[in-house]
Amino acid sequence: MLTWDGGTLVAADPANARTVRLTPAAFHHYRYEQAIADVSGKKREPTVVGGLAVLDADGLVLLDLPGEWRGWEVARFASARGVPVHDGPTGRPEPVRVALARRAPGWTRLTGRSRPRSSRRRRIAVLCLGVGGLLMMAYVTATLGGVTWRGLSWLGRLLLDVVEAKWLLVLFSPLAFLLTPLRRQLHRGRARRGAVLGPPGGPFLSVGRDDVLCVQPGPPMAADRLTIGLGPRDVASLLVYRYESLRGLFVFDVNGRPLRHLPGPWPPEDTHRFAVRHGLGCEIRALSREEYSDLTARVGDALP
């Protein structure tokens, strides 16, 4: 919920008990398509991402408000205080993502949705139900024989026709609760060896076959793939930057052109280890406001 307090914008997020007060120079009403992939990595129909960004005088994002915002309501609300509204470009999504990743110091995001809380008791209960179900199936099958097994098989095929197999696996298999911590531990081990860079849930970087740098934003977003080499659009080096309270990573080509901007914390030691292993240059330094503004504006694509 947005309201005015004189010339101050008040953004309230009751679902998370947060309120932000700031003075906007402009609003950015955006909408773009985001590529989506399934669990196997195959691309599916893109989803539409929309929202409203609050900008400072230099065009940096002070506040990101993802969701559906009607254009005429935004225009009327902004005109009450004489604040201009910029509509995002239509067509290619890259310019919109670049603009949204140009965060200002103190940047924040309000979603209006409370974060899902998976309680320990609930996880234990689901695990016990899954194990109990497997034990019951084994007992019934061993006691009543093949007729019962054929009945259970028929019921299983019926469920597979109605519900996707991957969701049945996630909801009812206790192995999912055992494999998730194992996968995270294996990912951390690969990160310590420099094979990957970033947390298990994403975003993280990895190098696939034929020297392809994969940028994994995290599910369900599709991965971005860049070739490592000496071409004008090939990945050649990484820059871990710090600008006031902001942290992030730039991916450069051999000519120093920024190809990707990935805001967020990227451990310098892990980044250096990853770059050395894959033959990439690596730089770690603080940026001035001019450098930060220039690089975030010239980059080819970004992860908001």
Whether residue 168 has pLDDT greater than 90:
no
What is the Cα–Cα distance from 47 to 57, expressed in whole angstroms?
31
pLDDT at 44: 81
Range 245-257 burial, b when 16+ CB lie within 10 A, else e? ebbbbbbbbeeee
Reported as a single tens digit per residue, the pLDDT across 211-263 is 899 999 988 888 999 999 988 889 999 999 999 999 999 999 999 999 999 99
pLDDT at 241: 98
Going by their DSSP bridges, the two strands 103-109 and 18-22 should be labelled as unpaired
Reported as a single tens digit per residue, the pLDDT across 126-154 is 667 666 666 776 766 677 665 665 666 66
Reported as a single tens digit per residue, the pLDDT across 170-183 is 555 555 555 667 78
Beta-bridged to residue 249, according to DSSP, are: 240, 262
CA 101 from centre of chain: 12
DSSP for 54-80, please give it. EE-TTS-EEEEEES---HHHHHHHHHT
Whether residue 155 has pLDDT greater than 70:
no
Going by their DSSP bridges, the two strands 258-263 and 301-302 should be labelled as parallel
